[in-house]
Amino acid sequence: MIVNKCIYAFDECSILKLCEIHIPPAYQIFFAKSILTERNHHKIKTAVQRLDFKDIKKWRFVPSENTQSNIIKVANKLLEGYNIQMLPKIFKAQIIEQLEEFSRDIPLTFDEIKKNDEITEIKEIFVTNERVLKREKNIPEDDDMKIISGYIKIGTEKEKFLITEDEHFWGYSDLIAENFRIIIIEEWRCDKVLA
Instruction: Give the nearest distance from C-beta 98 to another protein in angstroms.
Output: 12
- E-only strand ranges, the chain: 7-10, 21-22, 35-36, 58-62, 111-114, 160-164, 182-186
Per CB under 8 A, which region of 57-65, 85-93, 119-127, 143-151 contacts another protein?
85-93
Q: How many CA atoms lie within 13 A of 37 on its CB side?
A: 14
Q: Tell which one of 21, 36, 71, 119 touches another protein (CB under 8 A).
A: 71
Instruction: Give the nearest distance from C-beta 5 to another protein in angstroms.
Output: 40
Residue 86 touching another protein (CB under 8 A): yes
Residue 77 touching another protein (CB under 8 A): no
Residue 26 touching another protein (CB under 8 A): yes
Closest CA to 175 of 133, 139, 132, 125: 125
Tell me, what DSSP letter sits at residue 172?
T
What lies within 8 Å, CB to CB, of 56 at 6+ separation is 2, 4, 6, 8
Q: Tell which one of 70, 94, 116, 149 touches another protein (CB under 8 A).
A: 94
Point out which residues bind another protein (CB under 8 A): 24-29, 68, 71-72, 75, 85-90, 92-94, 96, 100
